[in-house]
Amino acid sequence: MNLSIRTKFSLGMIFLFIIILVLSIFSAFYLNKLSKKTNALLKENYLSVVYAREMSEGLNNINQEITKCFLMNKYSDSLFINKEMGFVQNSLKLEKNNITEPGEDKLVSGIESGINEYCDSVAKFIKSPLQADKVLYLQKKSGILYQQLVLLSQLNGKAMEVKADDAKVSSKKALTQMTFLATLCFLIAFSFTYSFASYFNERFFQLYNGIKEIVSSNYGQRLYFEGRDEFYEISVVFNEMAEKLNLNSQKMSVTLHKDSVRDKSSDELQELKRALVRIKNMEEQIFGLISRFENK
């Protein structure tokens, strides 16, 4: 298959573009994979830890308010307690929609039941405070809920550690694979670029030297390029030009030789004429001397 230089150059650029595209696709694939694992780690388990902490803080604030009011022998701040209850219920609702680990649903279900019972007990306590048994019951109930929330936090914290380790392993694996792929693509691209550049450099160098030889009147210089591309066509035209220049040079040499021979013959004829003239003058002089001797 005979390809033109423009086609070869275009195919070379397309080949390099494909290598870059392959690297980009694999990089995007591994980055997306790691991103999903990181997002799962942050959006799922981390949020569960946050919700557990918020519920613990809310229950602790309610328990402190009840204990403080009982010790100070005054009524509790119902608005503050209802506000904290709302925060606890909202965090519980969010956690119920964020179940990710095995056994987490049962634990959250138990926490929900405990919080509902605790809220009912708090509502009764607000109506009739200053009862030590109710305060003790609420303290005990909040302690149980706190332990359950700690378990929920530990469950998701452990899951975060496992997923973090898995993400590290995946990142190392992805780094190894991307390093291998990048090295392979680099070697292929380097080999292709070197061969591609060598192909053109060699032919341009031969063409340059051929033109220099022609300029130096070395008309025997010829170019020989393989293939059927533009370089081959240039070599054919170059060789035809060199052949014509060689023939013209030979013809010019023959013409110049004839002209020189003709000029040489003309010079000899003139010299012969001048010699004959001198001989004739010498004859006249001799005849004059002889005539003088005879008259004496």
CATH code where residue 24 lies: 1.20.120.1730
Separation between Cα atoms, residue 272 and residue 94, nearest integer Å: 131
| Cα 38 to Cα 45, 50, 174, 271, 275, distances in angstroms | 11, 17, 14, 111, 117
Question: pLDDT tens-digit profile of 226-280?
Answer: 767 677 777 778 778 777 777 777 776 656 555 554 555 556 556 656 655 665 5
Determine the distance from the C-alpha atom of residue 292 to the mean position of all C-alpha atoms in its chain, rounded to a whole number: 118
- 164 within domain boundaries: yes
| Residue 202 maps to a domain | no
Burial of 250 per CB tally in 10 Å (0-12, 13-18, 19+): exposed
In single-letter form, the type of residue at position 21 comes to: L
Rounded to the nearest integer, the mean pLDDT of the chain is: 76
Domain presence at residue 204: no
* Helices and strands (H, E) in the chain, number of each type: 6, 0
The whole domain housing 186 covers 5-193
Reported as a single tens digit per residue, the pLDDT across 147-158 is: 999 998 888 888
Q: Examine the domain organization and report whether 71 and 149 are in the same domain.
A: yes
Indicate if the pLDDT at residue 117 is higher than 60.
Answer: yes
Within 8 A by CB and 6+ apart from 254, the residues are none
* Residue 127 sits in the same domain as residue 254: no
Mean pLDDT check: name the lowest of 54-63, 170-179, 206-215, 226-235.
226-235
How confident is the model at residue 293, as a pLDDT? Answer: 47
Count how many domains the chain has.
2
* 34 falls within a domain: yes
Mean pLDDT score, 82-96: 89
Kindly give, in sequence order, each residue whose CB lies less than 8 Å from that of residue 13, ignoring residues fewer than 6 positions away.
none
